[in-house]
Structure 1
């Protein structure tokens, strides 16, 4: 990994080779910015311009991997080029090193280089002109600006655009990720809700069918068998009706249909009558007072599941259902006879109590279920304020 990080980019290799060959070609053709007789030319050997040219070309190999090092070496080679007849290619390669140092360097280097080169541009033109009292010295500042400040400023602008584009890309990816998380959570929540609805709708009817079919098979009594078959048929019809209602909610074209009726506390009397028809001795005390629709639905389902559990597990005796509306909450209490070690009359999945707890928790309420003085007690408190906002 470290060797790969130090390996020059192939485009940098092309720039270095192309710059070196171009400079050698211009040197071969005798194209140079200065003549050997000029005062600034201190190194008059014909091959002298090739030395700074080779150094700056080699620095191009570092323009991405070590941009700051490449710029420092190129800066050291540039004065060497000024004391020879010079090469235009060396200057061009140096401007690219300055541009690359800002574009690929550290954030600190990118911030400082435009300011440093800008100050050098001003000082390089103003100070010599003031000292020498010759306006022509201002051209030196222009040269510094072209060679150093202009590439640094260009690199700064390009870097800002690149960083902005990268930030926009990351924001888009984050938005897409959050949207996917929200979608997954929504699907999971909807599946859990439908699982609770399906369990509450079907479990009671199927439990009654299982219990009465067992009685019909175990007792050789035509009258008992006929009564059991009547209960089985009634629960089968009601279960199918509930399933059709649930399927209608799930269908894609359900928007074209009339909305399905949502169970409320007003339906508790009919629910209790159905439980009595299945053989339970149920006593209902529903109290008085209106509650929000989400609270009413949750209370109905909790009572429904509690009666289903009583049908499957309760011992002989009365089942009591009590609801009490307070100023800020609805209290539900369902008790049934309980004897430890009794065998259930119908198999269960164990999801009933968990589903009731989920319903209560969604509204900010609590649910407790367990044996209490020889009776199985389901105690629930549902806040009414949470129901208004649910």
Structure 2
């Protein structure tokens, strides 16, 4: 709880009103029964103790809305009460004001009031002991300590527990908020990954289908039409297989029909198949395709294996680059080179003839380059794509470099 604004001073808390009313009624009853703590001092009339009782009750109405002001108002009321006979109800309400000032007051008041209570108790003990050499003075000093220190430190303890509980609630809310943010980021990241994977898998086959279906419609040659339809069928079957693989990755293995075996992830060993498909799809456009896999040292048939994320990213880079070449490249040779730099970085380079075309051979979404950049960025690599100069003239060059740390390499690739 915190102190309410001054605008709320006219509307005391219900509990404060009950405490004030009960203290006033109890004090009046004690005064009518003559149950006062002692005779009035300095010749003051005993009826003045009702004035201090009334002021103390009014201060109780402010114990929650203005606790420090209520305590300041209660100090002279207590002094008047002591001088006019001392009603126990007035003293008890004053101790409650000390407790409320510590509990509901500002942090500065909660620090200073207990210190002042200790100082008041010590000074009162010293002064009373010096003035009156009487054993009853010790009891009076104990009463002062109980009436000031006990409510002050009780308020400190309860306030500390309240602040700790509030801090714990805030931490719990922050933890829940961070968890929700992490969940949303995870969902967004997974949707982005799925969109990138779906684009890279399907775009290649659909582009080939679009190109050859256009050729089949425009060329009045039965042999060319049959060849185009064969390429269309092959790409349709392969695209369907890729879609099934993706669905297998997304489906819960425990769900009915989900299957127990994980779907295979494409690797660089499938580059030969990609090049073969590209040759079949690009033959009618005057495109030729070559693969230079520098990882195959000494004429080895199989290339060294790397971590699955690296191989998948490299495979998708080549696949998307070949798709873009089928759509945009001028007639000529498309070169694909894969190089492994001493087991430290994997580099994929794809160059295709760059020419001025009125438009692509097949429509595209424009998300290919974005997806390739995202894949390389996730691996902490470098990616660049754009026109450049090659041995045979202007080319469109795609270059991706992916780090392959020692701990991420597959066991068969690590050096002894």
TM-score, with structure 2 as normaliser:
0.87
Q: How does 1:64-83 map to 2 (within 5 A)?
A: 64-83=64-83
How many residue pairs get matched? 385
Shift of 1:118: 2.6
Looking at secondary structure, tell me which structure has more helix per residue.
Answer: 1
Question: SS where residue 253 of structure 1 aligns?
Answer: coil
Structure 1's 275 and 125: CA in aligned 2 closer, same or farther, altered over 3 A?
same
Q: How does 1:47-86 map to 2 (within 5 A)?
A: 48-86=48-86
The runs of 5 or more residues in structure 1 that have no matched partner are none
Measure the CA separation in 1 of the matches of 2:252 and 2:42. 86
CA deviations over 1:178-222 (Å, ceiling 9, x no partner): 111111111111111111110011111111111111111122222
Measure the CA separation in 1 of the matches of 2:323 and 2:212. 14
Q: 2:25 aligns with which of 13, 21, 33?
A: 21
1:271 is aligned to 274
Matched, 1:285 2:292: yes
Q: How does 1:1-390 map to 2 (within 5 A)?
A: 4-7=7-10, 8-27=12-31, 29-34=32-37, 38=39, 40=41, 42-46=43-47, 48-125=48-125, 127-253=127-253, 257-279=260-282, 280-288=287-295, 289-327=304-342, 328-373=344-389, 374-385=394-405, 388=408
The runs of 5 or more residues in structure 2 that have no matched partner are 296-303, 410-416
For structure 1, which segment, 57-66 or 191-200, has the greater mean C-alpha deviation from structure 2 after superposition? 57-66
Measure the CA separation in 2 of the matches of 1:43 and 1:368. 97
Measure the CA separation in 2 of the matches of 1:262 and 1:244. 12
Shift of 1:41: 6.6
Measure the CA separation in 1 of the matches of 2:176 and 2:62. 37
Measure the CA separation in 1 of the matches of 2:233 and 2:212. 10
Structure 1's 191 and 31: CA in aligned 2 closer, same or farther, altered over 3 A?
farther
CA deviations over 1:300-343 (Å, ceiling 9, x no partner): 11000000111111111111001111132122110111212431
For structure 1, which segment, 333-342 or 359-368, has the greater mean C-alpha deviation from structure 2 after superposition? 333-342
Structure 1's 31 and 312: CA in aligned 2 closer, same or farther, altered over 3 A?
farther
Structure 1's 263 and 347: CA in aligned 2 closer, same or farther, altered over 3 A?
same
CA contact (8 A) 1:283 1:319 kept: yes
Measure the CA separation in 1 of the matches of 2:34 and 2:354. 108
CA deviations over 1:143-202 (Å, ceiling 9, x no partner): 112221111011011001101101111111111111111111111111111111100111
Shift of 1:386: 9.1
Shift of 1:363: 0.8
Shift of 1:126: 5.1
Structure 1's 5 and 264: CA in aligned 2 closer, same or farther, altered over 3 A?
farther
Structure 1's 299 and 5: CA in aligned 2 closer, same or farther, altered over 3 A?
farther
For structure 1, which segment, 172-181 or 110-119, has the greater mean C-alpha deviation from structure 2 after superposition? 110-119
| Cα RMSD (Å) | 2.1
CA contact (8 A) 1:126 1:141 kept: no
TM-score, with structure 1 as normaliser:
0.92
Question: SS where residue 289 of structure 2 aligns?
Answer: strand
CA contact (8 A) 2:352 2:397 kept: yes
Question: SS where residue 398 of structure 2 aligns?
Answer: strand
CA contact (8 A) 2:44 2:83 kept: yes
Question: SS where residue 361 of structure 2 aligns?
Answer: coil
Measure the CA separation in 2 of the matches of 1:45 and 1:291. 98
